[in-house]
Structure 1
Amino acid sequence: MINGYQWEQIIRSYLFKLKVFELDMHDDIPTNQNIEDYMNQLLDSFQSSFWINEHQWFIHCYIVDRTIRLFTSSKFPSYYPEQKLPRIWKSTNPKDTQQDLYRSITMINENFFEQPMPSDICLSRIDYITIKFPLHDQIWSAISNFNCLHAVSVLSYSDAYQSELQSLFDRAPKLHYLNINQDYSLPLQTSLFKCIKPSIHSLICFKMNHCLNEEECLLFCDSPLGMQCQTGSFNVKNRHCIANLVKNMINLQALHIYCQEKLKENRVEVIEWLKDSLPSTCFVTKDPDSTNAIRIWM
């Protein structure tokens, strides 16, 4: 890695008019080398008068496993390798604290809380979260608020966890997007349709292996989520399910559908049937990115 002394020499010699310096470097350190000593040496090289007084270009550094990463404040990462928290974090700016690092985290996955959590961790800017049930206890203490959360992806859900999901909804005023990736072995968990969150406008059930039948489609249309949903993606049994969704989702603007009945050889026939059956304001077309999907716009 290029250290601070080397960068200083490069800038003084060739980039002396440089006004903005953005750095993001990382390296894997051999196991026979003391990684913390190496980290301290690197940080020391960025603490000369050139960095601290002349330019106020401050450097942050953290260690995850055997990887060391250096970056300027403007390059605060929002995603960490395998979502692992740094075991060591330091900065050349005396005003920086580890909370600055936590505030930079905006996205976490379902395994995030499986690692040891610092007692002072405070995640306040999470905008996307992937969850599985039951929710980890630390989700409520580590995430100080859900005010920035706009998207939730659910990897596993059963009716037993409706209250937990609703509790998450209640804490997220800006939640707009819900993605359900359901286990194929489970039947439809209808309590999902009973959850209430008026701000959700997009529901993606394309990766929910259960295919909705006509009765389930009507049940969804009559649910709070179904009545407010503007865009949706679903797996359904047949073309009549599609018609039910289009005609009964009162705020629907766009639909992405995988129809079990619709195999590759008869997709054109199904599309023509939909064009004849749906209101003339609907635009129906095959999905160019899939051999088996249909897109509908209202």
Structure 2
Amino acid sequence: MMNLELLPNEILLDIFNYFYGIDLLHAFYDLNYRFNNLLYKQYRSYYFVFNSISKRTFDTICQGHLPFISDQVIALTLDNRENSPEQINLFLTYIPSFNLFTNVRSLTFESINSSEKLMEIIHQCHQLCNLTSLKFFSCILQGERTNQLIVDKIWALPKLTHCVFNIYGRIQDQFCIPQKASSSITYLTILTPNTIILNQLNELFQYTPCLKHFSAMIECYSNKNYIPATFLTLTQLKITIIGDYQVQQMNLFFQSFLNLRYLDINIWSILFDGHRWEYMIHNYLPNLQIFKLRMTGTLAEDRNIEEQIDELIDSFRSSFWIDEHRWFVRCFTEDGRKVYLYTLSNTFNYHEYTMSDSNLFKSTDPHDNEQRLCNSINNIYKETYFDQITSSHLRLPNIKYLKIRLPIICDQFWAIIPSLNQLKSLKIYSYVGVFQNQLQALFDLAPNLHSVTICEYQPSSSYMSIFKSKCTSLRNLYLLDSTQDCNHYFDEDECVALTRSSLSIQCKVLSISVTNRENIIYLIENMYNLHLLIVKCKDDKYFKTSPAMENNDELIQWLKDRLPSTCSIARDYDDSWVIRIWF
């Protein structure tokens, strides 16, 4: 094996580029003086992604390393989600200003729920002369006025080229059109639930005149006053269109994008046939090279279903589709008259295809078939999905997320799912102890399973049989379902059993309901790899009636008195009976 120390510095610095900052420092810091010098003095491309890590690691990086390498950081991702609660606030106590990151090019934030904090961060972004990418995900705010100020502040960033916007209010979810122009933004993604009304597009593009790539959900309503403008800079468009719209309106819409090369479009409730699409592309999108289409609609009740499907699919068989562009589509029905039509480049989820002998499947690709469709299904989101299957010859070999109800009553389940090698997350409903063998069988098929959620509608002592199961790859165990009023509260003996089970050995994240607060301390002290505990406590007397009451939180204070001061302890933003302890 080659000794790394024999490699020249230039090669080592190239190797460093393959590591995120946390892993890089963990692997090479303090090996010797030479590596420390490379890391602190010469390497200048740190990329830190602070999600799903322990607070201990977070503290070490922020307090022990960042002050010495802040001008060598080019990208930062900070995340307030459940796996690292209050992370952004903590970061700003360690590093009081983003101004220290003089060479940072990319900043990403998730789950900021304070307008003031968001405005503070964006204000500091104006001091970062190299910032070109700014992304916000799942930031829920209150007040339409605040959202407008935030948009205008972002559009005023002088060098910003890439922007992902997912900031919205609990009531207001329409995107606020900027009132200041950006001469630099070229890539803009507006994520749902933010939407844009079709008539606002012209104004948005006027204030973003250099835009090349755009992604959003567009509300398109019948409006005879819609006048298209021409946006010659736009080359890539990814949109979902909802609302009450007509063919003529779609013709006007596509006239705006003469230089479009890439179109990814999702249309709900209306089916345009291949002749209509061919006409629009041929006349209005002459430079289009990549076309991804997804349409969902309902077939007419007064006509034969198969005749309508044949008519629709045949409209995509012309030389324009097959020979000139080689854009193939597949079409299939579900629940009688519901129909889906996709280009073959798109992916599918469970709800788009229930395996049934009554479904119709058609494709313009002679090599396409139902099994290829099933090969592309990665996620099963409905626990009763397998109860509905009537087709026994198809397989689902590439499931990554599975929601299922026990007992498994589908006789063909184990044949339909021959392997769960790619399964990462499993959610079990209606678990009772007599089905422990089925649970273990699922674990045995899933060597890469990281996350397990178990929900029981009527919790009982049989819940304890979960801990007899073995799953060495398990990292996240969720036994608390905040969406259910009824949760099993684990007592002292059950908590002891959990800490002694194989499921707890590598567990990093645990959610659970416990009978009393002492159980919380016991779990933290006896689950040695745990770094996040999400807990609901039966003897919690918390009742938020005023800000003063919130500051006098008896259980939070009790936990702070008994746990190390380095622990971050906070109530959940959406469910105040849930406490998150990050350590």
TM-score by length of 2: 0.49
Matched with 1:26 is 296
Tell me the matched-pair count: 297
Matched with 1:111 is 384
User: Distance between the aligned counterparts of 1:233 and 1:185, measured in 2?
Assistant: 15
Task: Give the SS at the match of 1:75.
Answer: coil
1:92-107 aligned at under 5 Å gives the runs: 92-107=364-379
CA, structure 1 residues 275+116, in 2 after alignment: closer, same or farther (shift >3 Å)?
closer
Displacement of 1:85: 3.0
Displacement of 1:126: 0.9
Letter in 1 for 2:339: I
Matched with 1:129 is 402
Displacement of 1:39: 0.8
Select the residue among 320, 330, 333 that pairs with 1:63.
333
Matched with 1:5 is 275
Task: Give the SS at the match of 1:153.
Answer: strand
Matched with 1:195 is 469
Task: Give the SS at the match of 1:8.
Answer: helix
Displacement of 1:144: 2.1
CA, structure 1 residues 164+116, in 2 after alignment: closer, same or farther (shift >3 Å)?
closer
Matched with 1:73 is 344
1:1-298 aligned at under 5 Å gives the runs: 1-64=271-334, 65-81=336-352, 84-85=354-355, 87-108=359-380, 109-136=382-409, 137-207=411-481, 209-265=487-543, 268-298=553-583
Please tell me whether the aligned partners of residues 271 and 285 of structure 1 are also in contact (alpha carbons under 8 angstroms). yes
User: Distance between the aligned counterparts of 1:116 and 1:232, measured in 2?
Assistant: 33
Letter in 2 for 1:68: V
Please tell me whether the aligned partners of residues 375 and 398 of structure 2 are also in contact (alpha carbons under 8 angstroms). yes
Alpha-carbon deviations, 1:104-129, whole Å to 9, x = none? 22222331222243232011011111
CA, structure 1 residues 116+42, in 2 after alignment: closer, same or farther (shift >3 Å)?
same
Matched with 2:38 is none
Please tell me whether the aligned partners of residues 355 and 394 of structure 2 are also in contact (alpha carbons under 8 angstroms). no
Letter in 1 for 2:466: L
User: Distance between the aligned counterparts of 1:119 and 1:105, measured in 2?
Assistant: 16
Of all paired residues, the percent bearing the same amino acid is: 38
Alpha-carbon deviations, 1:188-225, whole Å to 9, x = none? 52221121111110011112711011221122111111
Task: Give the SS at the match of 2:525.
Answer: helix
User: Distance between the aligned counterparts of 2:540 and 2:284, measured in 1?
Assistant: 63
Please tell me whether the aligned partners of residues 263 and 292 of structure 1 are also in contact (alpha carbons under 8 angstroms). no
User: Distance between the aligned counterparts of 1:129 and 1:231, measured in 2?
Assistant: 19
User: Distance between the aligned counterparts of 2:477 and 2:389, measured in 1?
Assistant: 33
Letter in 2 for 1:240: E
Displacement of 1:185: 4.7
Task: Give the SS at the match of 1:62.
Answer: strand
Task: Give the SS at the match of 2:534.
Answer: strand
Letter in 2 for 1:278: L
Displacement of 1:286: 1.7
- For structure 2, the residue ranges without an aligned partner over 5 or more in a row are 1-270, 544-548
Could you tell which deviates more after superposition, 102-111 or 138-147?
102-111
User: Distance between the aligned counterparts of 1:181 and 1:160, measured in 2?
Assistant: 15
User: Distance between the aligned counterparts of 2:436 and 2:462, measured in 1?
Assistant: 13
Task: Give the SS at the match of 2:460.
Answer: coil
Please tell me whether the aligned partners of residues 513 and 538 of structure 2 are also in contact (alpha carbons under 8 angstroms). yes
Could you tell which deviates more after superposition, 22-31 or 113-122?
113-122
Please tell me whether the aligned partners of residues 431 and 463 of structure 2 are also in contact (alpha carbons under 8 angstroms). yes
CA, structure 1 residues 213+111, in 2 after alignment: closer, same or farther (shift >3 Å)?
same
Please tell me whether the aligned partners of residues 188 and 210 of structure 1 are also in contact (alpha carbons under 8 angstroms). no
Matched with 2:95 is none
Displacement of 1:236: 0.8
Higher relative contact order (CA 8 A, sep 6+): 1
TM-score by length of 1: 0.94
User: Distance between the aligned counterparts of 1:204 and 1:116, measured in 2?
Assistant: 28
The two structures, once aligned, show a CA RMSD in angstroms of 1.7
User: Distance between the aligned counterparts of 1:46 and 1:2, measured in 2?
Assistant: 11
Letter in 1 for 2:316: F
User: Distance between the aligned counterparts of 2:459 and 2:556, measured in 1?
Assistant: 30
Displacement of 1:26: 1.7
Please tell me whether the aligned partners of residues 534 and 580 of structure 2 are also in contact (alpha carbons under 8 angstroms). yes
Alpha-carbon deviations, 1:230-259, whole Å to 9, x = none? 001111111111111111111101011111
Could you tell which deviates more after superposition, 49-58 or 66-75?
66-75
User: Distance between the aligned counterparts of 2:399 and 2:430, measured in 1?
Assistant: 20
